[in-house]
């Protein structure tokens, strides 16, 4: 069974603070993604990676950095958190090249920036 | 413009059916996926289609018309537990083959 885990599950941060969201997958998928989901916007892609050492900007990368130190781990970093970054963040893994297009999502992290 | 559109809400009755529509406009096309997302949970993959026509998967079926940029997810014999949001996602082959564009989702409410 595909498995994507995220930590922490809930986080309260202060404006200007640094926040790191972690994601781990045991699917051996090359691709990993970070999304945020807000009411009225749906899922929006922040950063993604197609392998260890690579990170690419998605649709809304401003204010976020990403790190992919290994096949299994993909982190999202908010260097200077702002209240507008309060949201639910989902990590996903997938491999689109084999005739299918399944993305496996982690359980999400609820971030509140005060 | 480029994007994936879905109606925000849909209501139907237990034991009947519901059709969730999705229209898309992308520079390229390399498949469309449907996900179910229950309140407070992560999206879960349901189906993937890349060829035109109807794909019957039992409780869930999907239809695709590439020439019209249109798909639907058909849920039959609805149960109360089918109440959830259903997300349509299109893989664009344009500038970035890794990018998937999600619709905002359709919230289906199944009435007893």
Q: Which residue has the tokens 């900007």?
A: A57
pLDDT in tens, chain A (114 residues): 559 999 999 999 999 999 999 999 998 998 999 999 998 888 999 999 989 999 999 989 999 999 999 999 999 999 999 999 999 999 999 876 655 568 899 999 999 999
Among partner residues A56, A58, A106, which is closest to B42 by beta-carbon distance? A106
SS3 content of chain A, % helix, strand, coil (to 5): 5, 50, 45
Q: Which residue has the tokens 């019957």?
A: B56
Inter-chain residue contact B104 with A100, CB threshold 8 Å = no
**B97 contacts chain A (CB < 8 A):** yes
Inter-chain residue contact B97 with A45, CB threshold 8 Å = no
Per-residue pLDDT at A88: 97
Mutate to test the interface with B, among A101, A106, A110 (most CBs of B within 10 A): A101
**What is the nearest CA distance from B79 to chain A, expressed in angstroms?**
24
Task: Tokens for A17, please give them.
Answer: 């603070």
Inter-chain residue contact A96 with B43, CB threshold 8 Å = no
The separation between CA B43 and the C-alpha centre of its own chain, rounded to angstroms, equals 12
Cis peptide before A8 (omega within 30 of 0): yes
CA–CA distance, A30 with A76 (Å, rounded to integer) = 17
Q: Which residue has the tokens 């993937």?
A: B48
pLDDT under 70: residue ranges of chain B = 1, 94-98
Per-residue pLDDT at A99: 53
Inter-chain residue contact A107 with B45, CB threshold 8 Å = no
Per-residue pLDDT at B98: 62
**What is the nearest CA distance from B87 to chain A, expressed in angstroms?**
9
């Amino acid at each position: 069974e595909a498995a994507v885990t995220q930590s922490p599950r809930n986080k309260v941060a202060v404006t200007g603070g640094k926040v790191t969201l972690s994601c781990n997958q045991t699917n051996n998928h090359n691709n990993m993604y970070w999304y945020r989901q807000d009411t009225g916007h749906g899922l929006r892609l922040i950063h993604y990676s197609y392998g260890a050492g690579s990170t690419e900007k998605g649709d809304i990368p401003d204010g976020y950095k990403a790190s992919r130190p290994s096949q299994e781990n993909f982190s999202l970093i908010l260097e200077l958190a702002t209240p507008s970054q309060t949201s639910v963040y989902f990590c996903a893994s997938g491999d689109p090249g084999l005739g299918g297009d399944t993305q496996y999502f982690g359980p999400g992290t609820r971030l509140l920036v005060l | 413009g480029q994007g994936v559109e879905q109606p925000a809400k849909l209501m139907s009755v237990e034991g009947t059916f519901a059709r969730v529509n999705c229209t898309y406009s992308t520079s390229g096309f390399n498949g469309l996926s449907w996900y179910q997302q229950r309140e407070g949970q992560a999206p879960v993959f349901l189906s993937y289609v890349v060829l035109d026509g109807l794909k019957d998967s039992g409780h869930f079926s999907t239809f695709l018309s590439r020439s019209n940029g249109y798909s639907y997810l058909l849920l039959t014999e609805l149960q109360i537990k089918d109440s959830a949001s259903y997300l349509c996602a299109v893989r664009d082959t344009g500038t970035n083959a890794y990018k998937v564009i999600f619709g905002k989702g359709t919230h289906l409410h199944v009435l007893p």
